[in-house]
Structure 1
């Protein structure tokens, strides 16, 4: 998996393109369905490295909170989040500039079903269709 990320990094550095985070989301989805815990942990570590690289490479205004949330959802899968990471999630929920899908993801990572339900209901239909395919939705289903 690390090789796949390395190839995409080289391409992105030479010629940035939209949607590189979708590769990360596909790989996280893949990890969610691995039966072997060691393989899943190793694959998630590769995802975390890629997510950190993405966050450091892209302009923050281009990705809003998405890159941070992707890092946190990988860390969530690798174990529990720290108090500081939980504070970041709360800041996303309380922020006036964050979008409902970002507030939804933050609520899921905080394991707050009530808030997650609320923000999921506020997301428009076309965005909802996309979110259902994302790994954050897998975590959301596990909350219920």
Structure 2
């Protein structure tokens, strides 16, 4: 993901978003954290983090609770070194044994080396019944991108 560098074009911004989607779908906190600068600044809902180490620890905790995680990100807007995305992901909450879908927006700012220096995320969870899931078990990134997301699903 760091190899796609600013300033972004429409094509490279799209590539950056899909690279992030693919990376996050690995659910590998150590690998994902490398996409961020050492001193990255994060806001994830009501959690504020500073630095790659805190990001990795946050993701380790997140994916212990949010299992069977599957994410889709879509390009919303971009400038030279910033990208905005809309996203939705589904996960199984091991604590209450329920499925959820999170809808949200992210604001990304990149360093010259292509790593993310700032990430701000706002999202809301919606509890799902098994029949309401979009991302079936075993879905890969190509499957995730084929799910038609429209107002009819909401």
Instruction: Calculate the TM-score normalised by the size of structure 1.
Output: 0.32
Write 1 or 2 for the structure with the bigger share of helix. Answer: 1
Instruction: Calculate the TM-score normalised by the size of structure 2.
Output: 0.30
- Greater relative contact order, per chain length (Cα 8 Å cut-off, separation 6+): 2
Write 1 or 2 for the structure with the bigger share of strand. Answer: 2
